[in-house]
Structure 1
Amino acid sequence: MSPRHALLAVLVMLVWGGNFVVIDAGLADVPPLAFLALRFALVALPWVFVVPPPRVGWRPVVAVGAFMSLGQFSFLYVALELGMPAGLASLVLQAQVIITIVLAAAVLRERPTRAQAVGATVGTVGLVVVMVAHGASSPLLPAVVMLGASTCWAIGNVVARAAGVASGLSMVVWSALVVPVPAFLLSVLVDGWSPTVDGLTQLSGTAWLSTAYTAFGASLLGYTIWNSLLARYPASAVVPFVLLVPVVGIVAAWLVQGEVPSPLELAGGAVMMVGVALATVRLGRRPRAGVTRDPAPACAGASPRA
């Protein structure tokens, strides 16, 4: 990968890693599911009128929207609202790599490589350590809800893989249409009509900035760059950059919110990321730019978004 493209990949990781702190800040004024509805309304509109739909039929688009977008981010936003530390959330979300490998083996009969099997095992051990360490000092429910986000993302990966598509910009835009109405209705059901409507009609400057960052920065700009890199280089050369997301997320939470994970949480996180690295980083000579892209990015966490 050229230095310029490597810097672009790092830029995307910085945007995605900082996304957790930005979302957490915006949730101070808006119910989480209402905030989610607003974000994806801006991801979808007016872009569906200029971005062509993905050529896979409507069922994969709806399924990806239901799991990767609505499911994943509903759990993520609710977990942050319940008190999940933003930095730790960026780490636990990467459990999707491990869950994707397991689901792909069970559902798609894709036999994991030895490195993926070892990585999934090591990553699971690290995740258990993180969960136990977090539960010893804080309520465990937010961390369990975060695992729901990881699971939904993993299911979305398997759906995208089965359909034979990557989560490109067109898929991001069109699948976003699935989110706003169900998220709004769920917000009304959970939080009530008045808090939902008041939250959306009385947005603070912080909430607007957070929405702009997540919709235009993390989703649209981030994926425009990310998918252009995946189109140019093998997934094995691009996807490992996702290992930077939890590092950026933890550092951003420390600098902005003063969040300091416990030593045991950090140790478990380090073990977990070693497992993720084993499952995603392929050693040896990489193909030259322009060689056909690895057709199985889903098992490597093809969509490391937040």
Structure 2
Amino acid sequence: MNRTSAARSATATTSAMSMADLAAAMTVVVIWGLNFVAMKLALREFTPMQLGAARYAFAAMPLLLMIRRPALPLRWVAAYGLLQGLGQFGLLFMALRLGMTAGLASVLMQTQVFFTALMAFAFLGERLSRPMLGGLVFALAGLACFGIEVIAGCGTSADVTLAGLLLTIGAAGMWGASNILARHLQRHYPDYNPIQFVVWSSLAPVLPFLLLTWLVDGPSAQHQWMDASISAWAGAAYLGWFATVMAYGLWTGLLKRHPANQVAPFGLLVPVVGLLAGMLLLHESLSGWQLAGTAWIAAALVIILLAARGR
């Protein structure tokens, strides 16, 4: 398929989402919003590499024994698992450990919208509509509010480090790359099953995470597996079964049915849930800058969704 045909295909598949798809998108928003609290709590007892191995072990087992392999070449299944596992969550877990709050991480991860839109334009020929560009400007203004708070060291961001900030943005870039890979697979293998795909791709990062656990954490840290509490293991199970299998299964299904530029903006609601969950469950305070940033991001989503419904 040449570039012109790809652009026509992307335009043809753009449509307003059904109520079922909107419900799926909002379910993902809630799961991923609470996801950051689960990560922060689990990282009190696990190292980032240990949590990565535990998360994807839960995501792959026991479902791997009950779900057939997706009708895709294994190289694409493994590539998605490594992009999402080692790339997105490996970097994010390190960020949360080195200096990043759960609420702010949920916001900064939404730069995936920019990465997804730019990569979709560059590699898939998906056009950037005017409402999308307007929404991105609003979202950028919202993220700028959080950036100002971190850089200026004001508000509640004293515990956010530069390393944590850069690692989180890197994780968002990996999320954008996995979005594009999912959309690419939809074009070439339109009948693949999203749940099969997510479960089998979850197997790919387990061994690399275990290897990194041994190399990075060292043998002395291995006792943490046995000493971890039930709540830490419950957090890892939530990350594996709900935040990975269920949420990414729904998310990948949305990417199969709609252009990446139409699906990715739903992620802009995740920080709203993440900030509120951080306040209620982790007692993270919400500053004026964070309120302003959340308002800008909510406005961006409204612009994009209203434009999609109008089409």
Q: Scaled by the length of structure 1, what TM-score is found?
A: 0.81
Q: Give deviations 1:228-275, integer Å, cap 9, x for gaps.
A: 778899999977654432111111100111111321233234324433
Aligned to 1:128: 144
CA change 1:163–1:236 in 2 (3 A) is closer
- Bigger mean CA deviation after superposition, 223-232 or 91-100: 223-232
Q: Give deviations 1:87-133, integer Å, cap 9, x for gaps.
A: 11111111101111112222333331222223233323332331221
Q: How does 1:101-140 map to 2 (within 5 A)?
A: 101-137=117-153, 138=158, 139-140=161-162
RMSD: 3.0
> 2:199 and 2:238 mapped to 1: Cα distance?
16
Instruction: Give the deviation of 1:279 after TM superposition.
Output: 4.7
Percent identity between matched residues is 36
2:201 aligned to which of 175, 183, 186: 175
> 1:111 and 1:238 mapped to 2: Cα distance?
14
Letter in 2 for 1:88: L
Q: Scaled by the length of structure 2, what TM-score is found?
A: 0.79
Instruction: Give the deviation of 1:144 after TM superposition.
Output: 1.5
1:76 aligned to which of 65, 77, 92: 92
Alignment check: 8 A CA contact 1:68 1:157 kept: no
Letter in 2 for 1:263: G
CA change 1:277–1:144 in 2 (3 A) is farther
Aligned to 2:181: 159
Q: May I ask how many residue pairs the two structures share in their alignment? A: 285
Alignment check: 8 A CA contact 2:99 2:163 kept: no
> 2:98 and 2:241 mapped to 1: Cα distance?
25
1:37 aligned to which of 41, 44, 53: 53
CA change 1:67–1:45 in 2 (3 A) is same
Extract unaligned runs of 5+ from structure 2: 1-16
2:278 aligned to which of 253, 267, 273: 253
Q: How does 1:1-306 map to 2 (within 5 A)?
A: 10-137=26-153, 138=158, 139-164=161-186, 168-195=194-221, 197-223=222-248, 242-279=267-304, 282-285=307-310
Which secondary structure does the structure 2 equivalent of 1:94 belong to? helix
Which secondary structure does the structure 2 equivalent of 1:82 belong to? helix
Letter in 1 for 2:150: H
> 1:250 and 1:3 mapped to 2: Cα distance?
26
